[in-house]
Structure 1
Amino acid sequence: METRRKGPSGRPRGFDADEALERAMLAFWEHGYEGASLSCLTQAMGISTTSMYAAFGNKQELFRKALERYATGPSDYLVRALEQPSAHGVATELLTGTIRTTTRPAGPQGCLGVQGALVASDSGQEVRDLLAAWRNESHRFVLERFRRAVDEGDLPPETDPALLARYVTTLAFGVAVQAAGGVCRDELQAMADAALRNWPPF
């Protein structure tokens, strides 16, 4: 006789995994990796701990999936930036997109990819490494785009694309930190406009 496993008491087994992951992403974005406890996550997701593990794996794996969702959702401005026809357009869209995403009127401030594990203990080293790799990948994409801009004559031949890419991505990550600290959108946009006024800076 087949024995059927029971779902969590008082809660149907079926749930919208996509919606649950969206809520987990928001919880990590707001509280960081360590700040988002299992009870915080499951409450936000509307599921039991058992269901969370069954659907998404452990907390680190859930965070990895949440970061992937963040990259293709709120942080997809990077893709749009890289598609701009000029290097200046790339930098402008990257900074504008960062400001828009990190200062949303509703929802978490700052950037999940920058602040997600800033205060993580030794047990969160894997998450810190994951986020460092995520940020480095963003830099690499911008670097490759600026190299192409030099090859195509869009940037002066003496431009250092690696230094320029580091400059722009550091500005973007700095914007995220300032936004999390409560700096308003208009002030951040004024800073970005000033930073790009003399283009390229190197």
Structure 2
Amino acid sequence: MKVDQAPAARKTRTGRPLSFDRDAALERAMLTFWRHGYETTSITDLTDAMGISTPSLYGAFGDKRRLFLEAMQRYAGDPAATAAAIDAAPTARAAAAELLAGAIVRYTGETTPPGCLLASATASGSAASAEVQRAVADIRGFVIDRLQSRIARDVAAGLLPAATEASALAGLVMAMLQGLSVLARDGLDRASLHAIAETALRAWPEAGGRNGDALATGA
């Protein structure tokens, strides 16, 4: 009886199964980009970290740019889940607090580089990396847009003053996220970053003198 080999042939472009754990290799590539940045990370840095050969890297991921974009998406997570969390928060301020708290935990992980991959990987870059820089900016823009919509919803519901500028307030949260990343890379600890975020959230506009939501402290 002839066995259909087609499913196995679709495992890779060449029809040969991978000889390494692609998911684990991608995780190591993400950490390498996170630690060193996009342009300053060489193919040799990546293959050494991933434990694979250069042909295997190109065969499985395409090239350095496509590898970074996939690693970046792994870091950023599912955009639909991010949008859902922002939309489901009881208030826009609670959504901002959760974003800040989650970021602080990620920026200060014991087994990951300090700071944010999105902030550090493309902090500087040449024209050759414009596509990568644009992709990173698009992720930040997505979060700003979702938070802006959530803020506008609170304004319409009377939970925020009518004069609240939703775009500016959402941009302020993103500025805090990126600024906290820089401070984490400078060595500030988690407690210090939480204190900074708490202070920033005290400037959140309130309707009728109502107290805002507290910043979640994370674990």
Task: Give the alignment's TM-score, normalised by structure 1.
Answer: 0.85
The residue type equivalent to 1:52 in the other structure is: L
The residue type equivalent to 1:47 in the other structure is: I
Report which of the two structures shows the higher radius of gyration computed on alpha carbons: 2
Q: Name which of 102, 105, 110 aligns with 2:107.
A: 102
Paired residues for 1:20-35 under 5 Å: 20-35=25-40
State the Cα distance separating 1:178 from its structure 2 match. 1.2
The residue type equivalent to 1:182 in the other structure is: G
Change (3 A) 1:179 1:79: farther
Partner of 1:17: 22
SS across alignment from 2:39: helix
Answer with 79-88 or 135-144: which moved more. 79-88
SS across alignment from 1:126: helix
**Structure 2 residue 139 is matched with structure 1 residue 126:** no
- Contact conserved, 1:114 with 1:173, CA < 8 A, in 2? yes
The residue type equivalent to 1:100 in the other structure is: V
State the Cα distance separating 1:82 from its structure 2 match. 4.5
Change (3 A) 1:45 1:189: same
User: Percent of pairs identical after alignment?
Assistant: 42
State the Cα distance separating 1:153 from its structure 2 match. 2.6
Q: Provide Cα deviations, 1:135-171, integer angstroms capped at 9, x if missing partner.
A: 2222112111111222233222221111111111111
1:101, 1:127 → 2: CA distance? 22
SS across alignment from 2:38: helix
State the Cα distance separating 1:13 from its structure 2 match. 4.6
2:31, 2:116 → 1: CA distance? 11
Q: Name which of 141, 144, 148 aligns with 1:136.
A: 141
1:24, 1:77 → 2: CA distance? 23
The residue type equivalent to 2:175 in the other structure is: T
State the Cα distance separating 1:90 from its structure 2 match. 0.9
State the Cα distance separating 1:125 from its structure 2 match. 2.1
2:125, 2:32 → 1: CA distance? 15
SS across alignment from 2:197: helix
Paired residues for 1:149-164 under 5 Å: 149-164=154-169
Structure 1 gap segments, 5+ residues each: 1-11
2:189, 2:21 → 1: CA distance? 35
1:64, 1:45 → 2: CA distance? 16
- Contact conserved, 2:86 with 2:92, CA < 8 A, in 1? no
**Structure 2 residue 59 is matched with structure 1 residue 61:** no
2:66, 2:124 → 1: CA distance? 19
SS across alignment from 1:14: coil
2:60, 2:163 → 1: CA distance? 51
Q: Provide Cα deviations, 1:148-197, integer angstroms capped at 9, x if missing partner.
A: 22223322222111111111111111111111121221111111111112
Partner of 2:176: 171
Task: Give the alignment's TM-score, normalised by structure 2.
Answer: 0.79
2:61, 2:196 → 1: CA distance? 40
